[in-house]
Amino acid sequence: MSGLTHINAAGEAHMVDVGDKAITHREASAQAWVYMQPSTLEYMLSANNKKGDVLATARIAGIQAAKRTWELIPLCHPLMITKVSVDIIPHTELNAIEIQTTCRVVGQTGIEMEALTAASIAALTIYDMGKAVDHGIRISDIKLLEKKGVKSGHWVADAPISNR
């Protein structure tokens, strides 16, 4: 491991200079899970929910968050994102909602923070919309699933070491 890229020789936080990096097509995918009581999930998925369409609201929040990641994470670069997708999948057998995000960019730096931010904010939006009926909602397993188009190669979570 080469060390933390956002720490300079003096041990101070700094923004990485990506000016000399190659412009490549980059993509990252992330996921988050939101667990709740069965009745809460049923309420969120019903047309009778007083807060409106929970899944659509979470999807829009995730997309908007990806576009504003550079404003939320101090050392991230602003990116000209070419794609953000936020897929929200209810799992009634698990009393959970799975969030999967994918972000793309043609640029000089990675897009994984945008994918992770989209998943996180979509999960927080689901929490916000359900907290009035369930104080025990739990957000879990926010993680990077995959990234590609970077100098270090194609990375897949939980892949055998030989594929990394």
Residues with catalytic annotation? 128
Structure tokens at 123: 């999960």
Cβ burial of 45 (10 Å; 0-12, 13-18, 19+) is middle
Dihedral sign computed on CA atoms, order 64, 83, 144, 20: negative
CA–CA dist 153, 116 (Å, integer) = 19
Best CA proximity match to 139, nearest among 158, 156, 122: 122
Residue 60 and residue 112: Cα distance in Å, rounded? 18
Q: How many CB atoms lie within 10 A of CB 114?
A: 27
Q: How far apart, in whole angstroms, are the C-alpha atoms of residue 60 and residue 143?
A: 20
